[in-house]
Amino acid sequence: MSAETGIGAAVKRREDLRFITGRGTYTDDLNVPGQTYGVFLRSPYARAKINAIDAADALQVDGALAVFTGQDAAVDGLGDLPCGWLVKSKDGSDMVSAPHPPLAVSQVNYVGEPYGLVVAESLAAAREAAELVAADFEELTPVVAAAEAAKASPIHEGLEANLAYDWELGDEAATDAALAAAAHVTRLDLTNNRLIPNAIEPRAALATFDPTSGEYELRTTSQNPHLERLVLSAFVQIAPEHKLRVVAPDVGGGFGSKIFVYAEETVVTWAAAKVGRPIKWTAERSESFLADAHARDHVTHAELGLDEAGRFTALKVRTTANLGAYLSLFGSSVPTFLYGTLLAGQYKTPNIHVQTHGVYTNTTPVDAYRGAGRPEATFVVERIVEAAARETGRDPAELRRLNMIEPGDFPYETPVALVYDTGNYQASLDRALQLVDYGGFKQRRAASEAEGKRRGIGFSCYIEACGLAPSQLAIQLGAGVGLYESGEIRINPTGSVTVFTGSHSHGQGHETTFAQVVSDKLGVPFDDVEVVHGDTGRVEFGLGTYGSRSLAVGGSALISAADKIIAKGTRIAAHMMQAEPDNVAFEEGAFISGNQRLTLQEVAFASYVPADYPPDLEPGLSEKAFYDPENFTYPAGAHIAEVEVDEATGVVQLVNFVAVDDFGHVINPMIVDGQVHGGLAQGAGQALLEHGIYDADGQLTTGSYMDYCMPRADDVPDFTVDTTVTPCTHNPLGAKGCGEAGAIGSPAAIINAVTDAVGTEDIAMPATPEQVWRKLHGL
C-alpha cells in the first residue's frame, strides 16, 4: 500500500481536525432535551458513621427534583461495585473484599466518598440544594498510612483486618539461600509515591431512560464502554445488556483512570429512571482529585544479591500496597500480577521472591494508572541495580549489560511466571548510550559544576508486559473477564470500508492508526477506511483500551477480520474469474488469477449484488474476529536521564532525557513518539513533582492544581527518543504496545540521576527542592 499512509508511515491524524477547530464532542458538550443536573454529596470525613440524612430543606429549593441516598439504592437492589480480579493470598484463601455500594449506606470510608445524589432542573439549583442536605455523621478514627494499616483495627465492619491479601510469587527458600550465599547484598527501602491521574477532561456522565422501551443510554468518559455495560448489567444489575447502551464519545485522556466503573455513572444511570428525566453529571476538578482512582502508593524493602563477578543471584522484595478504602475494578491486580511478575526486569536473576500485602486504608481507592504495577516494579529493580553498581564500584551501564538476558536466550522464562518472547536489550542500551554521549558526561558534569550545579546521570533499563492479555492465563490468575479484543470490517457495496473496534481511543489516534493497518492490509485507499469505536450500540463487543493493548490485541483482531475478508473475497473472485480459489492471489487490493484481476471494490459490489456469485456462499462482505493473544508483549528499552541540581536551592532541572524503546513494528512513528513523550512527562511528574498527600486525619491536602504539582511545559526538556526493533513473535503485526513505556522507565532513571548528583543513597519521590536541599545539607 501507499508509502504515505501504510504501516510505518507518519500519517497525520484525521481526528485532529475536529479537535483543533473546537468541534470535538466530549461528554459534557452533549445536551439532551429535558436534561436535569446531578450533584453528588461527598463525605468530608475519612471515616464516619452516617446516622441520618435529612433532605427536607434541600427539596424546598426551587428546581430541586430529588435526593437519593445509599439507602434508596439499596432498597432498589442496586448492586455493589465489583472488583474484577480475584487475588489469592499465599495460603490459598481468596482476597478479603469489602462491600462497595455505589452510594455509602451506613458508613463512609474516605473523604469524597459519595453518599447521595441531588437532582435538579439546573446545576445551580442542584448545588444549592446539595448545600442544604443535612447529614449527621459520627466521626470514627481513620487508618491512613499504609505501613501501619495491617496492624490497625479494621476500617470495615465485619472484616477481621485491613489486610486484603498476603500475596507471593517465586521461590522464597531458594531466594533466601541465594541471598545468604551472595558475595554482596544491596538493600534498599523505597516508597512509590501516591499519584492522582488527572486526565484534563474531568469524568462526566449523561444518562437517559426511555420508559416506553425500558432502554437506558449512558454517555460517559470511559476507556471501555463494553466493560462498563457488562459491569452495570451483570453486577450492578441496572438493566440487561440489550437495554443498556453505553457510548464513550470523545474522551479527554484517561491514563487508566477512566477504565473503572465508578459510583457516579452508575448512580446517575439508575437515577435517570427514577426521576424519568435525563441526568447529567460532570465532575469539578476538586471532585476528580477525590473520586478518580489514585495510583501507585507502595512501601517496599528490597534486597539484591550479587556474586563476586557482579552477577545477580537473587532478588527479594517485600511490598505493602495501599489499595484505598475499597477494591477498585482492577485494583487488586496492579500490585500483584502486574507488579511481581515484572521483577526480573531485563536480567537473568535466577531467584526472585516477592510478597505483597494489599491493605485497606481510609483513602480514595487505588487502581491502574499509566503503567499500573510495572512502573513500581521497574522502580524497585532499576533503583536497586543502580545502588548495587555504586556499592560495588561498577559502571551502572556495564553492570546492567553483564546481567542482561541475551538475544540468544529467547524465549526466556523468568522465575516470576512470564516467558519473554523476544528482545534485544543490549541494542537499546547501546543506542541510548550513544545518543546521550555517555563518554562526554564527565565533561558535562564539570561544566555544570563550574556554574554551581551538580550534574547526575541515571539509567533505567525497563521491561514491561503489556498487550493485555492471554484470556486463559488472565482468568487462571483471577481475572473476571477474558482479555481478547474484537474487530469487524465491513466492506461497503461500493468498496469503502467501515472498521469497528472494541478498542477505544482517548488520545491514542486509533482512527488514524487502525485505518492505516486496514488500508495497508486490504490495499484500499486510507481515506476510504473509517474507524468506529466507543459505542456498544455500534460495536459488537470489546474490552477497551488499557495496558497498551489497543494495537497489539485490537489491531491484531482487525488483521484476523481482514484475513477472513480476503478468504471470502478469494472465493467470490475465483467464481467470477472461473478459477480455483487456490490459484487466486490477493495483492495490493486486488484478486489475481493469471492475467485476470478483480479489485476488492469489484468483488465487494458483486457480494452485495450477487448476480454472478458462488451458489454456496452468503452475500455480503463483512467479517468479524475476536483475537486472543497467546502471550503478553514485552516492550523494553533503555532510558537515561541527566539532571542538574542547584546547590543553593535544591531545584532539580531535568536537562536531558534519552529514551530508546523496542516496541516491535511501529505503525505510525509520529504517534508512537508522542506516546513516549507523554509517558516520560508523567514519569518526570512522579519523580520530581506529583504527590497525593493525606494528612493524619485522612484529608487530601493536595487536592487541587494549587497543591498537586502537575508537570508544566517549563518543567520538562525536549526528549530524545528512538526505537530499536525486535518484532513481537506471536501477533500478526509484530507490534508490542507503546502507551505506557515512558511512564514505566523514566522515574527510576530520574531518581538515579538525582541521587547521583546529590551523592545520596536514596531520595524519596517526588524529589522536591526542599528534600533535595536537605539531602545536600545533610539534614
Partner 1 sequence: MNLTLTVNGVEHSLDVPANTLLTDLLRTQLRLTGTHVGCDTSQCGACTVHLDGRSVKACTVLAAQAGGRTVTTIEGIGSPDDLHPMQAAFRDCHALQCGFCTPGMILRAIELVEDGGALDNRTVREGLEGNICRCTGYHNIVKAVLAASDTMQEQSQ
Partner 2 sequence: MSKRGEGVEQSGEHRIPAKRSAVWRSLNDPAVLARCIDGCQSLERLGEDAFTATVRAKVGPVRATFQVALKLTDMRPPESYVLHADVKGAGAGFGKGSAEVTLAETEDGTTLLRYSVAGRVGGKLAQIGSRLIDSTARKMADDFFSAFHQALDPAANRQQSANPP
Kindly report the number of other CB atoms within 10 A of residue 285's CB atom: 13
**The residue type at 254:** G
Distance of CA 764 to the CA centre of its chain: 24
The site partner of 670 among partner 2, partner 1, none (C-beta below 5 to 8 Å per kind) is partner 1
Burial of residue 91 (number of CB atoms within 10 Å: 0-12, 13-18, 19+): exposed
**Interface with partner 2 by CB under 8 A: which range of 63-71, 124-132, 181-189, 716-724?**
124-132
The site partner of 127 among partner 1, partner 2, none (C-beta below 5 to 8 Å per kind) is partner 2
DSSP run (H or E) holding 267: helix 263-275
Q: Binding of partner 2 at residue 566 (CB under 8 A)?
A: no
Q: Which is nearer to partner 1, 216 or 719 (CB)?
A: 719
Rg over CA atoms, the chain: 27
Beta bridge partners of 532: 500
The site partner of 694 among partner 2, partner 1, none (C-beta below 5 to 8 Å per kind) is partner 2
Q: Which is nearer to partner 2, 288 or 356 (CB)?
A: 288
> Which residue is listed with cell 457516579?
264
Q: Binding of partner 2 at residue 37 (CB under 8 A)?
A: no
The site partner of 712 among partner 1, partner 2, none (C-beta below 5 to 8 Å per kind) is partner 1
Binding residue for partner 2, selected from 188, 700, 716, 735, defined by CB under 8 A? 700
Beta bridge partners of 170: 353
Least distance from partner 1 to the Cβ atom of residue 118, Å: 18
Q: Which is nearer to partner 1, 165 or 255 (CB)?
A: 255
**Interface with partner 2 by CB under 8 A: which range of 284-292, 385-393, 399-407, 589-597?**
284-292
Q: How far apart are CA 471 and CA 263, in angstroms?
A: 27
Q: Are 116 and 67 in contact (CB under 8 A)?
A: yes
Q: Binding of partner 2 at residue 62 (CB under 8 A)?
A: no
The site partner of 202 among partner 2, partner 1, none (C-beta below 5 to 8 Å per kind) is partner 1
Q: Binding of partner 2 at residue 44 (CB under 8 A)?
A: yes
Chain contacts with partner 1 (rule: CB under 8 A)? 12-13, 15-26, 28-29, 124, 198-202, 250-253, 255, 284-286, 506-509, 670-671, 673-675, 677-682, 704-706, 710-714, 716, 718-719, 742
Beta bridge partners of 117: 40, 68
Binding residue for partner 2, selected from 9, 66, 73, 130, defined by CB under 8 A? 130
Least distance from partner 1 to the Cβ atom of residue 194, Å: 17
DSSP 3-state helix, strand, coil percentages of the chain (rounded to 5)? 30, 25, 45
Beta bridge partners of 64: 120
Q: How far apart are CA 584 and CA 595, in angstroms?
A: 11
The site partner of 632 among partner 2, partner 1, none (C-beta below 5 to 8 Å per kind) is none
CA-based nearest residue to 331, from 378, 298, 379: 298
Beta bridge partners of 299: 191, 320
Q: How far apart are CA 313 and CA 181, in angstroms?
A: 9
Q: Are 460 and 748 in contact (CB under 8 A)?
A: yes
Binding residue for partner 2, selected from 60, 141, 443, 701, defined by CB under 8 A? 701
Least distance from partner 2 to the Cβ atom of residue 202, Å: 15
DSSP run (H or E) holding 548: none
Q: Which is nearer to partner 2, 113 or 756 (CB)?
A: 113
> Under rule CB under 8 A, how many of the chain's residues touch partner 2?
31
CA atoms within 13 Å, Cβ hemisphere of 525: 6
Q: Binding of partner 2 at residue 699 (CB under 8 A)?
A: yes
The site partner of 250 among partner 2, partner 1, none (C-beta below 5 to 8 Å per kind) is partner 1
Distance of CA 557 to the CA centre of its chain: 20
Q: Binding of partner 2 at residue 122 (CB under 8 A)?
A: no
Q: Binding of partner 2 at residue 75 (CB under 8 A)?
A: no
Name the DSSP class of 701.
S
Least distance from partner 1 to the Cβ atom of residue 128, Å: 12
The site partner of 348 among partner 2, partner 1, none (C-beta below 5 to 8 Å per kind) is none
Helices (H) and strands (E) in the chain, counts: 20, 28
Least distance from partner 1 to the Cβ atom of residue 748, Å: 18
Beta bridge partners of 359: 163, 322
Q: How far apart are CA 499 and CA 506, in angstroms?
A: 17
Q: Which is nearer to partner 1, 28 or 228 (CB)?
A: 28
**Interface with partner 2 by CB under 8 A: which range of 1-9, 413-421, 501-509, 697-705?**
697-705
**Interface with partner 2 by CB under 8 A: which range of 505-513, 537-545, 656-664, 700-708?**
700-708
Least distance from partner 2 to the Cβ atom of residue 652, Å: 19
Binding residue for partner 2, selected from 53, 133, 625, 753, defined by CB under 8 A? 133
Q: Which is nearer to partner 2, 75 or 696 (CB)?
A: 696
Q: How far apart are CA 730 and CA 745, in angstroms?
A: 24
Is the peptide bond between 321 and the residue preceding it cis, with omega within 30 degrees of 0? no
Kindly report the number of other CB atoms within 10 A of residue 581's CB atom: 15
**Interface with partner 2 by CB under 8 A: which range of 40-48, 201-209, 305-313, 624-632?**
40-48
Q: Which is nearer to partner 1, 584 or 659 (CB)?
A: 659
Sign of the CA dihedral with 26 first, then 682, 675, and 729 last: negative
Q: Binding of partner 2 at residue 230 (CB under 8 A)?
A: no
CA-based nearest residue to 239, from 248, 230, 247: 230
**The residue type at 251:** V
Q: Which three cell numbers, joined as nine digits, stand for 741?
A: 513505556
Kindly report the number of other CB atoms within 10 A of residue 588's CB atom: 13
Q: Binding of partner 2 at residue 131 (CB under 8 A)?
A: yes
Q: Binding of partner 2 at residue 693 (CB under 8 A)?
A: yes
Q: Are 462 and 748 in contact (CB under 8 A)?
A: yes
Q: Binding of partner 2 at residue 720 (CB under 8 A)?
A: no
In the three-class reduction of DSSP (H, G, I as helix; E, B as strand; rest coil), residue 530 is classed as: strand
Q: Binding of partner 2 at residue 123 (CB under 8 A)?
A: no
The site partner of 393 among partner 1, partner 2, none (C-beta below 5 to 8 Å per kind) is none
Q: Which is nearer to partner 1, 75 or 713 (CB)?
A: 713
Q: Binding of partner 2 at residue 132 (CB under 8 A)?
A: yes
The site partner of 130 among partner 1, partner 2, none (C-beta below 5 to 8 Å per kind) is partner 2
Give per-residue burial for 202-226: e unless 16+ CB within 10 Å, then b. Answer: bbbbbbbbeeeeeebbbbbbbbbbb
CA-based nearest residue to 457, from 311, 619, 643: 643
Residues that bind partner 2 (CB under 8 A): 41-46, 111, 127, 130-135, 144-145, 286, 289-290, 693-697, 699-701, 703-704, 706-707
